[in-house]
């Protein structure tokens, strides 16, 4: 015959109320079963999120999270932060035509460097200059505003007219295009020029560049690169790198070393309203000769940006280890949850609980979850590098503070707080405007050499090796406000539910002071999500009994000596062989159930329960006996 009432909970008296988390055949058995099912689903979701971390790690490795190199598109469009800056400069075979450039244009660099830039352009565009007395050089800005935080100059050369920075009517003819930013060579900041010549045959081969994520992008072969020092000296550059930036969201041991390589990309596949295209002019006619031998390519300077992470293999190993340890820390919860599933299916009394509601009692689990989530800080920093590439938070927790409210607590719902935090922080961070801002701030670090654009100095590719602000530092309020709002919402909902049930705003914990087991576990202070309402205890005479589901929420499970093999959910057996139940940490439940051959791994017991009385064990002395077998039991109500 099925036991009902207190006998089903491990109590001999017949007085009591149905146990939270124990399904029994009562008039509201249906609602109890539904509540138990909800707690089981909550536990499965919590475990699923940990497994999701492992799946996410595999995907991130496949997408090059730890080492990546991808073309970052950069076309003549306001979308890519382009803007007109001047139509005045002219270039002849010796360099800048005297007095042709405006002051606004020439003060972008030092005077000596500006003169040398003109000389380099004249040297590299000498074939084009054989077709015209002087080239018309339009200067365009990329960035150079407070909204972007960094800047660069692009020179667009035309034969007999100034090309547009933002063309809107298809192809516009150009003689060449060059980009000026800065970089670091030999520890010093230098200006960095990347150039494409429409008539230089060595630059006309289109290469189908394969990014490390498997995507492809056509680029032009052999762009010319030169570094110009502030004193005006210059030389050809073989490295081609700029925007060398260090980021340390997880400390210097796991430094993100980001960099870019300047390229000239073919932009025909970007769906632009207008673009610059190489045309060879026919000076014996008023018409353009169209696509010539070395022309016809729609081009724009761009960056091939990537990163590597110091000690990446170690970081991958650590995250896998944290995931495995987190799953191991949940082993007891998984076992109890699956026992609950079997019991619900079989219609038998079972113990169920929501592990998240007792998270404040599971310090080790909280630490493991935090460590498991830690690498996401690095992922956020890496992802913002690739804002213009083709393919381009975890749980917050709250620690209770001891305040002078000895027997009163504010209540909150841990599941609501945790899930609401994850969702709200994700929604707050995911707008593209935040992604764009983070990307721009990645390139807005302290410069080794700046450029003067729009009456202000801007970093433009060369940085001092001090690292940059992390994403968390860039968005403190964006992260903290949703977390605070989620906590407030969880307090509000839990408090209203508590008030409707008890007509009290604060949770009274007076009964806990009379229960030996709860006192042993330490009574919460100030705020708690544990269901420690007086109605959740069982009073018999002047004693208050703690339910098995509450014991599980506090982080403990019960085992007893095993007489025979049991299949399915083990029913309560008051006359078991040893006559007492052993309380162990839920972390160690699986170890407690190991066969005798692995008895050396069995854990120490927290205490014993005999006739519903909890007796604490002496620390690190009382251990489960090696020559006996043990089985999981739902446990007893204890005092």
Give the strand order in the sheet containing 581-585.
Answer: 613-616, 607-610, 581-585, 556-561, 630-633
140 neighbors 275 (Cβ within 8 angstroms): no
Of 265, 292, 310, which residue is a domain's last?
310
Contact 425, 462 (CB under 8 A): no
pLDDT at 243: 86
Question: Phi-psi region for residue 420, left (φ > 0), alpha (ψ -120 to 50) or beta?
Answer: alpha
Q: What is the pLDDT of residue 196?
A: 95
Q: How far is CA 364 from CA 323, 402, 421, 527, 585, in A?
A: 13, 20, 21, 19, 11
606 part of a folded domain: no
pLDDT at 483 over 90: no
The answer to whether 219 and 149 have CB atoms below 8 angstroms apart is no
Which residues contact residue 577 at a Cβ distance below 8 angstroms, ignoring those fewer than 6 apart?
A: 561, 563
Looking at the fold, whether 111 and 260 belong to one and the same domain comes out as yes
Confidence bin at 35 (pLDDT 50/70/90): low
Q: How many CA atoms lie within 13 A of 62 on its CB side?
A: 6
Alpha helices in 195-330 (DSSP H): 312-329
Q: What average pLDDT does the segment 365-391 reach?
A: 65
Give domain status of residue 56, yes or no: yes
Three-state SS at 189: strand
Residue where one domain finishes, among candidates 310, 345, 380: 310
Q: Are residues 158 and 288 in the same domain?
A: yes
Do the domain assignments include residue 517?
Answer: no
In whole angstroms, how large is the CA radius of gyration of the chain? 35
**The pLDDT value given to residue 358:** 66
Q: Where does residue 542 rank: exposed (0-12), middle (13-18), buried (19+ CB within 10 A)?
A: exposed
Least confident segment among 230-234, 293-297, 486-490, 579-583: 293-297
**CA distances for 406 relative to 284, 372, 402, 478, 575, angstroms:** 97, 34, 9, 35, 39
Asked if pLDDT for residue 26 goes beyond 50, the answer is no
Q: Return the pLDDT at 194.
A: 96
Max mean pLDDT range (126-130, 286-290, 291-295, 398-402): 126-130
Other Cβ atoms within 10 Å of 180 Cβ, number: 28
- pLDDT tens-place string over residues 304-332: 988 888 888 888 888 888 888 888 887 77
Is the pLDDT confidence value at 141 over 60?
A: yes
Closest to 146 in 3D by CA, of 392, 505, 440, 558: 440
pLDDT at residue 355, as a whole number: 65
User: DSSP string covering 513-529, please?
Assistant: GG-HHHHHH----EEE-
- In 497-617, beta strands by DSSP E: 507-508, 526-528, 538-540, 543-545, 556-561, 581-585, 607-610, 613-616
pLDDT at 96: 96
CA distance linking residue 212 with residue 64, whole number of Å = 7
In the chain, what is the straight-line distance between the N-terminal and C-terminal CA atoms, in Å? Answer: 27
For residue 393, which of 411, 412, 377 has the smallest C-alpha distance? 377
Domain extent at residue 402: 21-64+316-447+469-502
DSSP codes of every residue in 441-468: HHT-S-BSSEEEETTEEEE-S-B-SS--
Q: Does the structure show a pLDDT above 70 at 359?
A: no
In a domain, 211, yes or no: yes
Residue that wins the pLDDT comparison between 279 and 365: 365
Asked if residue 349 and residue 237 are part of one domain, the reply reads no
Higher pLDDT, 1 or 442: 442
Lowest mean pLDDT among 119-123, 389-393, 433-437, 551-555: 389-393
**pLDDT exceeds 90 at position 116:** yes
Q: 221 and 248 share a domain?
A: yes
| 3-class SS letters over 368-415 | HHHHHHCCHHHHHHHHHHHCCCCCCCCCCCCCCCCCCCCCEEEECCHH
Residue 379 is encoded by which pair of tokens?
């992922």
Mean of all residue pLDDT scores within the chain: 77
392 shares its domain with 253: no
Please check whether residues 121 and 217 belong to one and the same domain: yes
3-class SS of residue 243: strand
Mean pLDDT for 398-407 is 36
Using CA atoms, how far apart are residues 410 and 492, in angstroms rounded to an integer?
A: 10
Distance CA 624, CA 337 (A): 23
Residue 571 or residue 43, greater confidence: 43
pLDDT tens digit string along 508-560? 777 677 777 777 777 776 777 777 777 777 777 677 777 787 787 777 888 88
127 versus 33: the higher-pLDDT residue is 127
pLDDT at 395 over 60: no
Instruction: Return the closest-CA partner of residue 200 out of 297, 134, 72.
Output: 297
Report the DSSP beta bridge partners of residue 526: 409
Domain boundary among 282, 310, 338: 310
Mean pLDDT to the nearest integer, 262-278: 84
Q: Are residues 60 and 129 in the same domain?
A: no
Q: Does residue 525 belong to any structural domain of this protein?
A: no
Contact 153, 117 (CB under 8 A): no
Structural domains counted in the chain? 2
Q: What's the pLDDT at 135?
A: 95
Quote the CA–CA distance of 166 and 142 in Å, as a whole number.
Answer: 11
pTM: 0.62
Can you give the pLDDT at residue 283? 44
Is residue 365 assigned to a domain? yes
pLDDT for 407: 61
**Do 59 and 105 belong together in one domain?**
no
User: Given a cut of 50, is residue 3 above it in pLDDT?
Assistant: no
Pair (282, 327) in one structural domain: no
Residue 264 pairs with which residues in a beta bridge? 301
Residues 138 and 253 in one domain: yes
Helix (H) or strand (E) holding 256: strand 256-266
pLDDT digits (tens, 9 = 90+) for 178-220: 999 999 998 899 999 999 999 998 998 899 998 887 888 999 9
Residue burial 142-157, b: 16+ Cβ < 10 Å; e: rest: bbbbeebbbbbbbbbb
CA pair distance 273, 270, nearest whole angstrom: 9
pLDDT for res 30: 62
Q: Per the domain annotation, does 577 fall within a domain?
A: no
Q: Which helix (H) or strand (E) holds 177?
A: strand 176-185
Rounded distance between C-alpha atoms, residue 142 and residue 427, angstroms: 30
Domain co-membership, 76 together with 50? no
Per-residue pLDDT, 230? 95
Q: Is the pLDDT of residue 25 over 60?
A: no
Q: What is the DSSP letter of 13?
A: S
Report if residue 565 sits inside a domain.
Answer: no
Residues 354 and 373 in one domain: yes
Least confident span in 253-267, 488-502, 624-638: 624-638
């Amino acid at each position: 015959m099925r036991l009902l009432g207190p006998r089903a909970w491990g109590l001999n008296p017949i007085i009591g109320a149905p146990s939270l988390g124990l399904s029994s055949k009562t008039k509201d058995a249906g609602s109890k079963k539904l509540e138990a099912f909800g707690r089981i689903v909550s536990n499965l979701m919590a475990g699923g999120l940990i497994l999701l971390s492992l799946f996410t790690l595999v995907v991130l490795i496949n997408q090059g999270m730890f080492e990546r190199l991808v073309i970052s598109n950069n076309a003549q469009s306001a979308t890519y932060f382009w803007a007109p800056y001047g139509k005045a400069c002219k270039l002849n075979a010796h360099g800048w035509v005297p007095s042709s450039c405006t002051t606004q244009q020439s003060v972008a660099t030092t005077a000596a460097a500006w003169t040398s830039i003109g000389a380099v352009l004249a040297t590299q565009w000498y074939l084009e200059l054989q077709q015209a007395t002087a080239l018309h050089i339009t200067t365009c800005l990329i960035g150079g505003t407070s909204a972007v935080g960094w800047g660069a100059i692009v020179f667009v050369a035309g034969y007999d007219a100034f090309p547009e920075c933002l063309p809107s009517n298809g192809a516009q003819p150009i003689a060449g295009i060059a980009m000026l930013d800065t970089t670091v060579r030999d520890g010093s900041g230098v200006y960095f020029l990347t150039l494409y010549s429409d008539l230089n045959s060595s630059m006309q081969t289109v290469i189908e560049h394969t990014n490390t994520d498997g995507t492809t992008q056509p680029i032009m072969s052999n762009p010319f690169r030169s570094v110009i020092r502030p004193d005006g000296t210059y030389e050809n550059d073989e490295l081609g790198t700029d925007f060398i930036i260090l980021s340390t969201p997880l400390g210097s041991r796991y430094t993100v070393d980001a960099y870019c390589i300047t390229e000239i990309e073919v932009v025909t596949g970007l769906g632009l309203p207008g673009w610059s295209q190489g045309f060879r002019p026919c000076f014996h006619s008023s018409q353009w000769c169209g696509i010539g031998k070395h022309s016809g390519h729609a081009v724009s300077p761009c960056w091939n940006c990537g990163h590597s992470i110091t000690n990446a293999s170690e970081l991958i190993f650590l995250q896998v280890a944290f995931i495995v340890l987190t799953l191991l820390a949940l082993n007891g919860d998984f076992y109890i949850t699956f026992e609950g599933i079997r019991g619900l299916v079989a219609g038998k009394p079972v113990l169920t609980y929501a592990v998240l509601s007792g998270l404040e009692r599971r310090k080790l689990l909280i630490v493991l979850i935090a460590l498991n989530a830690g690498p996401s800080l690095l992922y956020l920093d890496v992802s913002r590098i690739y804002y213009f590439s083709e393919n381009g938070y975890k749980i917050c927790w709250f620690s209770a503070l001891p305040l002078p409210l000895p027997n009163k607590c504010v209540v909150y719902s841990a599941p609501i707080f945790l899930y609401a935090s994850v969702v709200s922080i994700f929604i707050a961070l995911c707008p593209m405007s935040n992604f764009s801002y983070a990307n721009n701030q990645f390139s807005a670090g302290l410069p080794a050499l700046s450029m003067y654009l729009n009456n202000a100095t801007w970093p433009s590719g060369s940085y001092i090796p001090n690292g940059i602000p992390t994403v968390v530092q860039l968005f403190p309020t964006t992260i903290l406000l949703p977390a605070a709002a989620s906590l407030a919402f969880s307090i509000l909902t839990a408090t209203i539910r508590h008030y409707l049930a008890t007509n009290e705003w604060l949770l009274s914990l007076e009964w806990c002071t009379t229960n030996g087991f709860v006192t042993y576990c330490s009574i919460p202070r100030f705020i708690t999500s544990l269901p420690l309402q007086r109605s959740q205890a069982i009073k018999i005479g002047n004693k208050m009994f703690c339910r098995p589901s509450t014991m599980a929420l506090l982080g403990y499970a019960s085992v007893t000596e095993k007489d025979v093999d049991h299949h399915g959910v083990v029913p309560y057996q008051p006359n078991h062989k040893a006559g007492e139940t052993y309380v162990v940490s839920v972390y160690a439940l699986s170890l407690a159930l190991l066969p005798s051959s692995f008895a050396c791994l069995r854990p120490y017991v927290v205490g014993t329960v005999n006739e519903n009385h909890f007796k604490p064990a002496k620390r690190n002395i009382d251990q489960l006996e090696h020559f006996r077998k043990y089985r999981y039991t739902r446990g007893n109500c204890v005092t």
